[in-house]
């Protein structure tokens, strides 16, 4: 039986060379909050393929069962329909705490819920980490830098955040969550990791996500006007989701416990981005300019020196390759939607 297991492991390793497979003593029990979401489900795939036991807690506010349905019934996988604003009592070794709405339209739709999940939800997860002595990785955000006056953004920059505005429910609750991680680490000796995640895109983004990538791709595919908010001179830097997952896992298993940026420094104006997507789709869509968004950061680009030196990590996927995969995903989503509307 042992020989068979080793053979299985070797076969899997050959099939997925990018994944490091574990011997059974290295297997961990890992909780992923928000594991049915866009980033969470890709992380779950990677952890499951590596042979870990994975528990997903999700309230399906923006997450979707279909993102992880391929694991349902697997002996190493467990899905809990749970809102982490309520405490959770389980036994785990590691916690990836990703649960939170993340796109501006989603987090502004219910700002109170956004604040609760990042404040009370994070307290609950830190409490769980303390009780079972688990390590917790918190999914923070480039939004902690607000509308940055320092460019590119290094982890040592304190940010320029409006505490009282439409984005503050997200920005300030992510900031207080970082402060909570710090306090629990100091006072309770909890092992924490803080990933400041920059704009991320890829398959399984929500159709109604409302962020620039999904909006532009869907508009281009349907030959609808591509909507640029404001002048289009504002910049963003986009990382493909598989690069982020590599970074999250490397950070969790590193011995670096201060905040760390994870993003792709490849920076574009939103106008350039609209043109690029239009070209890749081969779309006839027009480009239209809409009202600017309140408190929209004018520029954003990560300094990833820390991640490079501590994790030996940097993004690998080129924008055009990542976008082509994302376009293929949304093309299929539109087909599915079209068929389900007709039937
Ligand atoms: N944006 C846009 N058109 C859209 C959606 C977004 O021009 O249909 C702009 C938005 O104003 C911002 C940038 O694209 O400057 C990125 O916005 P997104 O909502 O994707 O994420 P953010 O980085 O602001 O959280």
Q: What is the pLDDT of residues 60-103, one digit of tens each?
A: 999 999 999 999 999 999 999 999 999 999 999 999 999 999 99
Pocket, ligand 1, Cβ cutoff 6 A: 103-104, 199, 211-212, 215, 227-230, 234, 236, 270, 293, 296
- For the stretch 284-317, pLDDT in tens is 999 999 999 999 999 999 999 999 999 999 999 9
Q: Which of 199, 106, 185 is nearest to 138 (CA)?
A: 185
pLDDT tens for each residue of the chain, 343 residues long: 777 877 887 888 788 877 777 766 689 999 999 999 999 999 999 999 999 999 999 999 999 999 999 999 999 999 999 999 999 999 999 999 999 999 999 999 999 999 999 999 999 999 999 999 999 999 999 999 999 999 999 999 999 999 999 999 999 999 999 999 999 999 999 999 999 999 999 999 999 999 999 999 999 999 999 999 999 999 999 999 999 999 999 999 999 999 999 999 999 999 999 999 999 999 999 999 999 999 999 999 999 999 999 999 999 999 999 999 999 999 999 999 888 876 5
- What is the residue with the minimal CA distance to atom 14 of ligand 1? 212
Atom of ligand 1 nearest to the CA of 300: 23
Out of 109, 222, 229, give the residue to mutate to test ligand 1, the one with the largest number of ligand atoms within 8 Å of its CB: 229
Q: How many angstroms separate the alpha carbon of residue 209 from the centre of ligand 1?
A: 11
Atom of ligand 1 nearest to the CA of 274: 7
Distance between terminal CA atoms of the chain?
Answer: 49
Cα–Cα distance between 101 and 85 in angstroms, integer?
A: 13
- What is the residue with the minimal CA distance to atom 5 of ligand 1? 212
Q: What is the largest CA-CA distance in the chain?
A: 65
- What is the residue with the minimal CA distance to atom 11 of ligand 1? 229
Question: Which ipTM score applies to this complex?
Answer: 0.96
Provide the annotated active-site residues.
Answer: 170
Is the Cα dihedral 125, 148, 292, 288 positive or negative?
A: negative
pLDDT at 131: 97
Where are the alpha helices (H) located in the chain, listed in sequence order? Answer: 2-15, 38-49, 104-109, 111-132, 168-188, 212-221, 241-252, 270-281, 305-311, 319-342
- What is the residue with the minimal CA distance to atom 21 of ligand 1? 211
Q: How do strand 267-269 and strand 235-237 relate by DSSP bridges? A: antiparallel
Tell the residue number behind the tokens 């890992």, with chain if given.
30
């Amino acid at each position: 039986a042992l020989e068979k297991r080793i053979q299985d492991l070797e076969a899997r390793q050959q099939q997925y060379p990018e994944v490091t497979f574990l011997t059974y003593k290295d297997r961990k029990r890992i909780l992923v909050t928000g594991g049915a979401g866009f980033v969470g489900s890709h992380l779950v795939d990677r952890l499951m393929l590596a042979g870990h036991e994975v528990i997903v807690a999700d309230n399906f506010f923006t997450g979707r069962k279909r993102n992880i349905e391929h694991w349902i019934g697997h002996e190493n996988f467990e899905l809990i329909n749970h809102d982490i604003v309520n405490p959770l009592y389980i036994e785990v070794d590691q916690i990836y705490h990703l649960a939170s709405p993340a796109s501006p339209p989603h987090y502004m739709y219910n700002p109170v819920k956004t604040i609760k999940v990042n404040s009370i939800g994070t307290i609950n997860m830190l409490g769980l980490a303390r009780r079972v002595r688990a390590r917790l990785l918190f999914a923070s955000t480039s939004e902690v830098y607000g509308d940055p006056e320092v460019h590119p953004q290094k982890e040592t920059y304190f940010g320029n955040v409006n505490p009282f505005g439409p984005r503050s429910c997200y920005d300030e609750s992510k900031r207080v969550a970082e402060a909570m991680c710090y306090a629990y680490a100091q006072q309770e000796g909890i092992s924490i990791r803080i990933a400041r995640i920059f704009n991320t895109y890829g398959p399984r983004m929500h159709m109604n996500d409302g962020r620039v990538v999904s909006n532009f791709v869907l508009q281009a595919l349907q030959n609808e006007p591509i909507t640029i908010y404001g002048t289009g001179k504002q910049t963003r830097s986009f990382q493909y989701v598989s690069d982020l997952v590599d970074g999250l896992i490397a950070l969790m298993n590193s011995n670096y416990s201060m905040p760390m940026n994870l993003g792709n420094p490849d920076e574009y104006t939103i106008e350039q981005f609209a043109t690029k997507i239009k070209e890749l789709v081969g779309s006839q869509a027009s480009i239209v300019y809409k009202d600017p968004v309140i408190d929209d950061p004018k520029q954003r680009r990560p300094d990833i020196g820390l991640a490079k030196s501590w994790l030996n990590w940097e993004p690998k996927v080129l924008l055009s390759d990542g976008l082509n995969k994302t376009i293929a995903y949304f093309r299929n989503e539109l087909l599915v939607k079209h068929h389900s509307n007709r039937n």
